[in-house]
Structure 1
Amino acid sequence: MSLDVNISEPDEFNCTELHSCIENVAKINNIKDFTYHVEFACGKGENFVANVFRVEITDTEDCGKVSVIVKTLVNTTRQELFRELHKREVKAYEEVLSRYQMIQEKLDISDRIVIPKCILSDMKRGNEVLILEDLVSKGYEYDTKINKLQNLEYEQVCLVLDNLAKFHALSVVFEMNNVDHFTKLKNEFKDILFQDTFLDKSKLRNYYTNCYEDSVKLLDDLDARTKLQNVETKLMDLLRYYTSSRTFNVLCHGDCWVNNFLFKQKENITTDLCFLDFQAMRYSNPATDIVYFLYLSTDSTFRAQHMKDILSVYYESFTSFLKLYDIDSSLIYTKDSFEDDVQEMLPFGLLITLIELRIVTTTFEREISESKLDLYQCTSNEGKEEILLKVRVDDVVKESLQNGILDKLCEMKFLN
């Protein structure tokens, strides 16, 4: 075995635990003698939960290459802050997504959803690592539209909802095939992001609140601003309410926005996608994922024009996928119930937009430091991005006034 490493290896990667992981990946691929090259898989600071590296392992005997993604809390001051999210993602890959892969084996490849394979994982304190296959090497790539506050194309939105329906349907198949195991899992996958213990430990409570406040301050409509400031007093209660289980629930992605997808294109046409980042997977109503995605990826004009059609895309895909397993969707989740759930979840879309739009227009200029555990002291972009943010905030708040969503939030009983 060779430990020759490209000279550009980031300091954050340089430790015994991570080098040992790469040795293990090489052994799994029957590579005895190798060199490897390491680079950040995303911009430094873009992923504030973990360090994410792309590692290319080259067999020195036949020059064959294996590319993997390494997600780790090792060598970060976020190890204690985000251990629970790391454990949640490892559990998602080991106990849920691996089962989904097996469930899909009976299907044609064209009918399956794409999820990176987990090659190696570790939840031990001080060695928090998750190693996945690198789908970028297979032609999948990020779409940067949302980072520029641009909408996804209609075809892309339909593709996401088509695949999201299959993702949710796999949860149904899993549950029906193994009720006892699934019952245990759904209790272990209760929402984590908005629970008090995690919010306090991770410092995310202030993060959510500060992002929300920044968005509300951009509003010129003083009446709407006052209403939203009143809502802020129960922001966490509302987020917990909307992500709690309903009559019908599945294992949801939990952080369903464009930075957690990779798209595949052929001749400038998006043909496929895969899902990434399952730290927030939770047992909840599927409408939480749908509304989360639609509010962050489209504007009010798009939703007004296409909401009915794209919800039909989702439900038809959900129905068709379950039919492949001889399951009648109308017996477990009718279209009327589905549409009612989406309608009930629209206020959640407003809240998430006011929080997350600030995130996607933020430049993380420095990493968390040992002496200052507030990762979320961030500097917002100036100029065009700030103007676009104001336009999007105004847009979603105006929509919420017109359709009564903001008043519905204000009337929630625990706000009185």
Structure 2
Amino acid sequence: MSLDVNISEPEEFDCVELHTCLKSVAERLGIGNFEYHVDYISGGRENFVANIFRVVIRDTDKNEIQSVIVKTLVNTTRQELFHDIHKREVTVYNVILPRFKEVQEKIDAEKRVLLPECLYSNADRSKEIIILRDLGESGFVGDDTLAEFKELNLNQVQLILTELAKFHALSFVLENQDYENYCKIKLKFEDILYQENFLCKSKLRNYFFESYDMSVNLVTDSEARKKLVKARPKLLELLKMYNQPSKHSVLCHGDLWVNNMLFKKESDHSKICFIDFQAMRCASPATDIVYFMYLCTTSKFRSEHFKQLQFDYYDTLNSTLKDYDIDVNSVYPRDEFEKDVRENLPLGLLIALVELRILTLTPEDEAVMKGNANIPGWDWIPGEVELYKYRVNDVVDESVENGVLELLMSKVNT
């Protein structure tokens, strides 16, 4: 074995523990003697929790190379802050995704949800690491549409929501096939992000309120702004409420936006793979849907296409469950699905007010964030202020017109 490290290896990666992990990965891949170098480090936009590396491993006996993705909290100031959500993601890779892959063996390969493969993981304190097979070797890439301040098109959104329906369907399949064990799994996946202990330790409480305040201060409709100010004291309570288990709960991704997806364009269609499962939780499928729609599409797009996209999602859920001989009406009737989406629309509004601050991030802002020793994004204002202001007022004006703001206020006044 040879650990011939690239001389440009960043000091965040300079850790004996990580070198040892790569040796384990090489052994799993059937590689004896090898050398490696760090090929890539993610920027602030890609991941605010962990350090992300692409590592190229070269089999020196066969002169072949394989690439892996390394996610680690080691050597970061965030190690203690985000240990809990790292541990959750390790559980997803070691428990949930293997079960999903197992149940999908029953159906044809082209109908399966593509899932990332974990080669190594450790959830112990001070040893937090996940190493994944690099899907980039198979032609999967991230989508820069939102990063370039452009809009997703209808085909892209349809692909995402129909693949999401397949992903959610696997929870219903697990529940149908092994009810007792699935119930035990669900207990381990109650929401973590909005729990008091995690909020206090991670300082996310500050982030949520500061981001919300920044957005509300940009609202031009004075009456809407007053209502949103009134909702502020219950912000975390509301976020927690919307993300709790419901009658038709599934294992939701929990942080569904385009930066947590990889895409592959083929001759006649595209493929997608969801990644980054730190926020996976047991909740209504509608929470994933509205989270994505409100962060990644505009009010104009939603007014023109959201209704049809809900039909596309549900029809795919139905067809996927049929492959497992499950009647969709027995697990999630259409009228209850539509009701869930409607009732969770205020969650989309709240998430937008908190997270649009990140989505309007410019390269200049990103440089500021990378130089911040604390959690990114707490002491800066987006450089693209006009875009930020536009996106905030776009979603607020929509929520006034379609009654979502009033639906939110009914929860606030309860």
TM-score class normalised by the smaller sequence: over 0.9
Contact map agreement 1:148 1:361 (CA 8 A) in 2? no
| Compared CA separation, residues 320 and 401, structure 1 to 2 (3 A) | same
Q: Secondary structure at the match of 2:147?
A: helix
Contact map agreement 1:77 1:368 (CA 8 A) in 2? no
The separation in 2 between residues aligned to 1:134 and 1:270, in whole angstroms, is 21
1:380 counterpart letter in structure 2: I
- TM-score normalized by the length of structure 2: 0.96
2:285 counterpart letter in structure 1: P
Matched, 1:296 2:295: yes
Contact map agreement 1:41 1:53 (CA 8 A) in 2? yes
Q: Secondary structure at the match of 1:3?
A: coil
1:245 alignment counterpart: 245
Moved more, 32-41 or 294-303: 32-41
The separation in 1 between residues aligned to 2:154 and 2:46, in whole angstroms, is 26
2:295 counterpart letter in structure 1: L
Contact map agreement 2:172 2:331 (CA 8 A) in 1? no
Q: Secondary structure at the match of 1:198?
A: helix
1:38 alignment counterpart: 38
2:393 alignment counterpart: 394
Deviations 1:166-219 (A, max 9, x none): 000001111111112111110010000111110000000110111111111112
| Compared CA separation, residues 136 and 18, structure 1 to 2 (3 A) | same
Aligned length: 410
Q: Secondary structure at the match of 1:81?
A: coil
Map 1:154-165 to 2 at 5 A.
Answer: 154-165=154-165
Cα displacement (A) at 1:108: 1.8
Contact map agreement 2:186 2:251 (CA 8 A) in 1? yes
Deviations 1:295-324 (A, max 9, x none): 111111111111121011100110101111
The separation in 2 between residues aligned to 1:410 and 1:44, in whole angstroms, is 34
Q: Secondary structure at the match of 1:54?
A: strand
1:235 alignment counterpart: 235
The separation in 2 between residues aligned to 1:45 and 1:153, in whole angstroms, is 22
Q: Secondary structure at the match of 1:194?
A: coil
| Compared CA separation, residues 155 and 16, structure 1 to 2 (3 A) | same
1:204 alignment counterpart: 204
Matched, 1:314 2:300: no
| Compared CA separation, residues 120 and 234, structure 1 to 2 (3 A) | same
RMSD: 1.6
Cα displacement (A) at 1:326: 0.4
Cα displacement (A) at 1:45: 6.4
5+ residue gaps in structure 2?
none
Deviations 1:98-125 (A, max 9, x none): 1111111222221011111011111111
Q: Secondary structure at the match of 1:277?
A: coil
The separation in 2 between residues aligned to 1:163 and 1:400, in whole angstroms, is 27
2:196 counterpart letter in structure 1: D
Cα displacement (A) at 1:281: 0.4
Q: Secondary structure at the match of 2:78?
A: coil
| Compared CA separation, residues 337 and 71, structure 1 to 2 (3 A) | same
1:344 alignment counterpart: 343
Q: Secondary structure at the match of 1:379?
A: coil
1:379 alignment counterpart: 380
Cα displacement (A) at 1:389: 1.6
5+ residue gaps in structure 1?
none
Contact map agreement 1:156 1:270 (CA 8 A) in 2? no
Q: Secondary structure at the match of 2:152?
A: coil
1:198 counterpart letter in structure 2: F
Cα displacement (A) at 1:289: 0.2
1:395 counterpart letter in structure 2: D
Map 1:10-49 to 2 at 5 A.
Answer: 10-44=10-44, 46-49=46-49
Q: Secondary structure at the match of 1:273?
A: strand
Moved more, 283-292 or 27-36: 27-36
2:216 alignment counterpart: 216
2:56 alignment counterpart: 56
The separation in 1 between residues aligned to 2:398 and 2:91, in whole angstroms, is 38
| Compared CA separation, residues 237 and 276, structure 1 to 2 (3 A) | same
| Compared CA separation, residues 373 and 43, structure 1 to 2 (3 A) | closer
Q: Secondary structure at the match of 2:270?
A: strand
1:157 counterpart letter in structure 2: V
| Compared CA separation, residues 368 and 201, structure 1 to 2 (3 A) | farther
Contact map agreement 2:73 2:129 (CA 8 A) in 1? yes
The separation in 2 between residues aligned to 1:283 and 1:74, in whole angstroms, is 28
2:237 counterpart letter in structure 1: D
1:192 counterpart letter in structure 2: I
The separation in 2 between residues aligned to 1:6 and 1:378, in whole angstroms, is 35
Cα displacement (A) at 1:258: 0.8
Cα displacement (A) at 1:378: 4.3
Map 1:16-415 to 2 at 5 A.
Answer: 16-44=16-44, 46-266=46-266, 271-362=270-361, 363-364=365-366, 365-367=368-370, 373-382=374-383, 385-412=384-411, 414-415=412-413
The separation in 2 between residues aligned to 1:353 and 1:394, in whole angstroms, is 10
Percent identity over the alignment?
A: 49
Contact map agreement 1:189 1:281 (CA 8 A) in 2? yes
Contact map agreement 2:46 2:259 (CA 8 A) in 1? no
Cα displacement (A) at 1:415: 3.7
The separation in 2 between residues aligned to 1:41 and 1:167, in whole angstroms, is 29
Q: Secondary structure at the match of 1:287?
A: helix
